[in-house]
Amino acid sequence: MSTAVVTLGTGLSDAVRSEWTKLWSVRSSWLNLAAALVLTALLGLQFGFNLAYTNTHLEPGQVAQTQAVGEFGASVIMIVQVVIAAFALLTVTSEYATGSIRSTLQWTPVRRNVVLAKAIVLAPVLFVYGLVLAGVSAVVGGLAAGSWADWTASALVVDLLSVAFYATTAGLFAAGIAWVVRSTAGTLTVAFLLLLVVPLMLSQSSIRALVWIAAVLPGGAGQNYLTGTTDPLSPTVSALLLVVWAGAGLMVGTRVLTKRDA
């Protein structure tokens, strides 16, 4: 009994080391990071200049508003999240595309360990990924906004950590979907719809039931969480929903992997 437990633990640790090596040995990971950084900087610049322009071209009766620099990160991540989702899902779909998934499953015969190992590697990487992008957008947007930017440290830290949390849950959710769909285009389409398009469309509806549906989808929960919206769900409930979506995606992915041929 004790020998079997040790063997399982060693298999998982070996799988984690293997997944870490695979993640950073492919060109797509580095290209994704570079593209996200460039896009983030450009969007932060745009949002910052927009704030400065709005405050210097006020209509009669309007009052200029400052903005916490961390909020630039929250705004940018709602667009760049698709790039982050692509980073996560490619760790799965690229193996199916090249056929290397068969070798992976031979090296790690306990299939749930393959999903778990990828999640263990992705979680901290996605957190740092989101943290860096939030920091870049905050700095660039704040500098572009000039005197209209609020650099309060405590608020900035909260915003940066919030964006990093959302990037982690959204990425893990996308990785879970990838185990089910298996193709890059198909997984990216599903992630794009559930993280951005459908929640955005439904949240604009005048029908209350559709607004609620938008709020419980991963993208809608992320929007509510990052903006601090309390209607229809509080940020705390939205954060819990994000964890549930990420966990459910990985659980379904594990189920599919263990039942379906590679």
The reported pLDDT for the residue numbered 235 is 94
**Is the pLDDT confidence value at 230 over 90?**
no
CB 19 within 8 A of CB 13: no
76 domain residue, yes or no = yes
Kindly report, residue by residue over 189-211, the tens digit of the pLDDT. 999 999 999 999 999 989 999 99
The reported pLDDT for the residue numbered 8 is 39
6 domain residue, yes or no = no
Q: What's the rounded Cα separation, in Å, for the pair 214 and 204?
A: 9
- How many Å from the N-terminal Cα to the C-terminal Cα in the chain? 30
Domain count, the chain: 1
CB 176 within 8 A of CB 246: yes
Six-digit token string for 222:
């992320």
Kindly report, residue by residue over 109-142, the tens digit of the pLDDT. 899 999 999 999 999 999 999 999 999 999 999 9
CB 170 within 8 A of CB 223: no
pTM for the predicted model, two decimal places: 0.92
Six-digit token string for 100:
């290397």
CB 188 within 8 A of CB 89: yes
The reported pLDDT for the residue numbered 62 is 84
8 domain residue, yes or no = no
Report CA 50 to chain centroid distance, whole Å.
25
Residue 262: band (very low, low, confident or very high) from pLDDT cuts 50, 70, 90: low
Query: What is the extent of the structural domain holding 98?
Result: 13-259
Helix ranges (H only) for the chain are 2-25, 27-56, 70-98, 101-107, 111-145, 153-181, 184-192, 198-203, 208-216, 218-227, 235-259
3 domain residue, yes or no = no
Return the bridge partners of 9, or none: none
Report CA 217 to chain centroid distance, whole Å.
14
- Which one-letter amino acid corresponds to residue 131? L
Q: What's the rounded Cα separation, in Å, for the pair 225 and 242?
A: 9
5 domain residue, yes or no = no
7 domain residue, yes or no = no
180 domain residue, yes or no = yes
1 domain residue, yes or no = no
